[in-house]
C-alpha cells in the first residue's frame, strides 16, 4: 500500500516538481517559436527529471509524454516518488465555465500499473458559485467527481492528491485580492471535507487568508507555483508554511520555465546554475516551517 510517505521527505514534508503540463507546455513552446512535437515535449520532461528529481521528494508527470519518456530514460532518481496526473487532458465546460469529469479507466490501479506512487487529479472549483435555476450545479458536480477519485484511490491503496484552480465567475473581472482569497479558501474547505490525502492549492493571497485556511481544513496541503516568478514563490512558501500550516510545495514553472526553447547546452547550464539552486532555495524556505503531513489537522501550525 502506498502512502504520502512515498512522495515526502523523511520529515513528512513535500518538495515535489510538477512537469505534468500538456497544453500549457505546448503554448510555452509556441511562444518561443518552437514546434511542440511529441519528441520535444518528452525531452523537456526527461531533462527536468534528470536534473531536478535527485533533489526532490516527488515528480509529477502526465501519462501521455512524461511517464513513458522518463521511465524509458531511467532518469527518475530512486529517492524521488512518482505522481501521475489522472485528469482528462481536455476538460469539459458549460457556457465557458470548466466542468469536471473523470475517465474511469484512469484510476488508482492505472497509476499503480505505471509505477506511480500517488494519483494527482485537477479540478477547477469556485465554491462561491451559485447555480441558477435550470442550470447544472458545477460545484456539486466537481465535488462528486473528486469524491469518486478519493474513494477509488482508497480502494486501490494509493494516495489521492487533489489540485484546485479557482476561476472567475461569468461576468466577473479576473480574480484578484480578497475575492480570490475567499474563493481559494472556501473551495479548499469544500474539497477537504471529501477526505483526500493531500490538497494542492494556490497561495491564498495573504497571511490572514493562510491562517483562515489552516483553521478550516483537516487535510495536509501543498502550495503550487502557478507560473509565478521564483523570487515571489519563495516568499509565498514561507508565509504559507508559517501562517497556513502548509506541508511543502508542488512547483513547476517557477523552477524550470526559462529552459523551454533553449538549446541542449543552454538547458544543461540553466539547470545546473539556476534551476537546481532554485529547488534548493525552495527547500530551504520550508525547512523548519512546513507542517509534516501526518500532523496536518485542523488548527495545527
Could you read off the pLDDT of 130-173 as tens digits, one per residue?
A: 988 999 999 999 999 999 999 999 999 999 999 999 999 998 88
Supply the mean pLDDT for the chain.
Answer: 95
C-alpha to C-alpha distance for 127 and 137, rounded to whole angstroms = 11
**pLDDT over 50 at 298, yes or no:** no
Entry pTM: 0.95
> In which band, very low, low, confident or very high, does the pLDDT at 230 lie, cut at 50, 70 and 90?
confident
Q: Please tell me the predicted confidence (pLDDT) of residue 300.
A: 39
Residue 161, classed as helix, strand or coil, is: strand
C-alpha to C-alpha distance for 183 and 175, rounded to whole angstroms = 9
- Give me the DSSP letters along 215-237: HH--S-EEEE-TT--HHHHHHHH
Q: What is the CATH number of domain 4-295?
A: 3.20.20.70
Cα separations in angstroms, 13 against 53, 75, 184: 16, 23, 22
Compute the Cα dihedral for 179, 180, 186, 190 and give only its sign. positive
C-alpha to C-alpha distance for 224 and 248, rounded to whole angstroms = 9
Amino acid at each position: 500500500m502506498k502512502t504520502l510517505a512515498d512522495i515526502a521527505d523523511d520529515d513528512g514534508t513535500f518538495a515535489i516538481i510538477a512537469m505534468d503540463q500538456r497544453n500549457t507546455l505546448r503554448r510555452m513552446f509556441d511562444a518561443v517559436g518552437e514546434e511542440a512535437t511529441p519528441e520535444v515535449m518528452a525531452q523537456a520532461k526527461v531533462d527536468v527529471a534528470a536534473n531536478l528529481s535527485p533533489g526532490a521528494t516527488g515528480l509529477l508527470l502526465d501519462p501521455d509524454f512524461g511517464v513513458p519518456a522518463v521511465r524509458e530514460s531511467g532518469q527518475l532518481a530512486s529517492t524521488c516518488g512518482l505522481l501521475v496526473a489522472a485528469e482528462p487532458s481536455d476538460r469539459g465546460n458549460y457556457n465557458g465555465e470548466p466542468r469536471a469529469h473523470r475517465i474511469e479507466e484512469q484510476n488508482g490501479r492505472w497509476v499503480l500499473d505505471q509505477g506511480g506512487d500517488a494519483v494527482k487529479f485537477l479540478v477547477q472549483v469556485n465554491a462561491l458559485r451559485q447555480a441558477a435555476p435550470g442550470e447544472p450545479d458545477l460545484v456539486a458536480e466537481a465535488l462528486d467527481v473528486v469524491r469518486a477519485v478519493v474513494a477509488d484511490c482508497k480502494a486501490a491503496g494509493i494516495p489521492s492528491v487533489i489540485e484546485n484552480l479557482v476561476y472567475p465567475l461569468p461576468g466577473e473581472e479576473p480574480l484578484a485580492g480578497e475575492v480570490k482569497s475567499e474563493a481559494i479558501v472556501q473551495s479548499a474547505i469544500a474539497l477537504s471535507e471529501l477526505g483526500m490525502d493531500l490538497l494542492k492549492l494556490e497561495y491564498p493571497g495573504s497571511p490572514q487568508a493562510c491562517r483562515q485556511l489552516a483553521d478550516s481544513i483537516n487535510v495536509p496541503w501543498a502550495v503550487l507555483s502557478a507560473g509565478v516568478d521564483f523570487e515571489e514563490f519563495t516568499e509565498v512558501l514561507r508565509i504559507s508554511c508559517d501562517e497556513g500550516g502548509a506541508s511543502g510545495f508542488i512547483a513547476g514553472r517557477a523552477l524550470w520555465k526559462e529552459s523551454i526553447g533553449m538549446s541542449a547546452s543552454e538547458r544543461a547550464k540553466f539547470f545546473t546554475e539556476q534551476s537546481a539552486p532554485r529547488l534548493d532555495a525552495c527547500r530551504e524556505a520550508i525547512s523548519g516551517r512546513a507542517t509534516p503531513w501526518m500532523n496536518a489537522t485542523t488548527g495545527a501550525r
